[in-house]
């Protein structure tokens, strides 16, 4: 179920990401309109294709399919001209359209193929069939899969590849004061990083949520600051420092529901007086030191009780 869910989304994503020109067949056979239908036999049979665009000076003027050829064969009309038997109002796609447009057109018209033309000079540049789409998506999926494998390899094997008695990582994030548009970026970044290093989801969540609350405090109350996360052998230690103004009464600040947040912060849904209490809840340890006018230093520890269990 989970797997199914992921593939569906990934493929949908890919059909938006890929362009038609990425998957179409480029070296295509074309025929001229003044050729005889009989001429198609060799092309269709030899190349094992089911339809051929009819072109004049690289411009598409029609399309003729194996079905058209068979009809002519049945009615003994192999010596008529292709232009009399071809489909003239051909539905086409532009080379730079996302692949999903092709998917939708196939669904809508039920045709076997669409000629692809360039948007700029309307010249015929390729042809796309359903099997081109499948091949293109599979190829892209394979590449994505390899990238993912490689990334995972890198992340989780760092611990095995690095030779040291103990390994420490340090991740540093800068947080702007008063800018709520970027609030949360540090916490989200740390979350992604810790996941990639193979830490358990529960540990990552607790570290990320604590970091988020601290980050919001920097944004709401200070002139800016930084967050440094240390990944140590048995714990994540997150040190948050800012440039002031500092907290006059720490005991009060730690009380659930106590807040000094100004109106504009409250309007955004912050300032409930729950930030520091939340951190206390999610972290294993929290120490807060503050000097008025100078700044505040908050240290959060989350223990890795199940550290590297996934190895």
Partner 1 sequence: MINLKDIVQKLDLKVVSGNLDREVSAGYASDLLSDVIANAQKDNIWITLQIHLNIVAVANLQELAGIILVNGREPEESTLKKAEQENIPILLTELPTFEIVGKLYELGIHGTQ
180 binds partner 1 (CB under 8 A): yes
Q: Which of 191, 214, 239, 288 binds partner 1 (CB under 8 A)?
A: 191
Q: Which of 105, 230, 274, 303 binds partner 1 (CB under 8 A)?
A: 274
Shortest Å, Cβ 8 to partner 1: 7
133 binds partner 1 (CB under 8 A): no
Angle at 192 between CA 158 and CA 240, to 5 degrees: 95
Q: Return the residue matching tokens 């009380």.
A: 255
Residue 215: name the closest of 267, 276, 257 by CA: 276
Q: Which of 20, 86, 124, 208 binds partner 1 (CB under 8 A)?
A: 208
Shortest Å, Cβ 262 to partner 1: 15
Which is nearer to partner 1, 80 or 281 (by Cβ)? 281
188 binds partner 1 (CB under 8 A): yes
Taking each continuous run of H as one helix and of E as one strand, the counts in the chain are 12, 10
Shortest Å, Cβ 196 to partner 1: 16
Q: Which two tokens stand for residue 203?
A: 């540990």
Shortest Å, Cβ 103 to partner 1: 17
Cis peptide before 245 (omega within 30 of 0): yes
274, 280 Cβ separation under 8 angstroms = no
133, 22 Cβ separation under 8 angstroms = no
Which stretch in 75-83, 106-114, 156-164, 183-191 sits in contact with partner 1 by CB under 8 A?
A: 183-191
Residue 215: name the closest of 184, 254, 170 by CA: 184
Which is nearer to partner 1, 171 or 180 (by Cβ)? 180
The contacts of residue 108 (CB under 8 Å, 6+ apart) are: none
Q: Contacts with partner 1 in 275-304 (CB under 8 A)?
A: 275, 277-278, 281
Tell me how far apart the alpha carbons of residues 71 and 173 are, in angstroms, rounded to a whole number.
70
Residue 256: name the closest of 277, 270, 271 by CA: 277
The contacts of residue 113 (CB under 8 Å, 6+ apart) are: 50, 51, 63, 127, 128, 129
- Tell me phi and psi for residue 271, to 5 degrees: 75, 30
Q: Return the residue matching tokens 């223990």.
A: 303
Shortest Å, Cβ 238 to partner 1: 14
Q: Which of 120, 121, 269, 293 binds partner 1 (CB under 8 A)?
A: 269
231 binds partner 1 (CB under 8 A): no
Q: Contacts with partner 1 in 1-30 (CB under 8 A)?
A: 5, 8-9
177 binds partner 1 (CB under 8 A): no
Residues lying near partner 1 in the complex (CB under 8 A) are found at 5, 8-9, 180-181, 183-184, 187-188, 191, 205, 208-209, 212-213, 216, 268-270, 272, 274-275, 277-278, 281
């Amino acid at each position: 179920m989970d797997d199914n869910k992921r593939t569906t989304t990934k493929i949908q994503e890919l059909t938006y990401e890929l362009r038609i020109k990425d998957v179409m067949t480029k070296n295509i056979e074309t025929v001229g309109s003044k050729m005889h239908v009989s001429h198609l036999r060799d092309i269709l049979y030899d190349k094992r294709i089911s339809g051929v665009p009819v072109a004049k000076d690289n411009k598409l003027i029609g399309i003729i399919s194996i079905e058209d050829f068979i009809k002519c064969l049945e009615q003994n009309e192999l010596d008529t001209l292709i232009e009399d038997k071809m489909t003239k109002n051909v539905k086409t796609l532009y080379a730079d359209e996302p692949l999903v447009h092709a998917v939708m057109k196939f669904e809508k018209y039920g045709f076997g193929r669409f000629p692809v033309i360039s948007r700029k000079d309307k010249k015929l540049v390729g042809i796309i069939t359903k099997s081109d789409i499948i091949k293109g998506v599979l190829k892209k999926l394979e590449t994505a899969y390899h990238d993912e494998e490689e990334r995972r390899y890198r992340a989780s094997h760092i611990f095995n590849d690095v030779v040291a008695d103990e390994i420490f990582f340090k991740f540093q994030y800068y947080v702007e004061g008063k800018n709520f548009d970027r609030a949360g970026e540090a916490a989200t970044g740390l979350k992604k990083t810790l996941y990639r290093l193979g830490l358990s989801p529960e540990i990552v969540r607790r570290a990320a949520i604590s970091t988020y609350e601290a980050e919001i405090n920097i944004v709401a109350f200070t002139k800016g600051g930084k967050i440094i996360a240390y990944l140590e052998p048995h714990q994540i230690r997150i040190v948050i420092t800012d440039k002031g103004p500092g907290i006059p009464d720490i005991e009060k600040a730690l009380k659930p529901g106590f807040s000094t947040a100004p109106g504009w912060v409250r309007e955004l849904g912050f300032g409930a007086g729950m930030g520091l209490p939340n951190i206390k809840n999610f972290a294993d340890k929290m120490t807060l030191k503050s000097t008025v006018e100078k700044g505040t230093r908050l240290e959060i520890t989350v223990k890795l009780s199940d550290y590297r269990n996934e190895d």
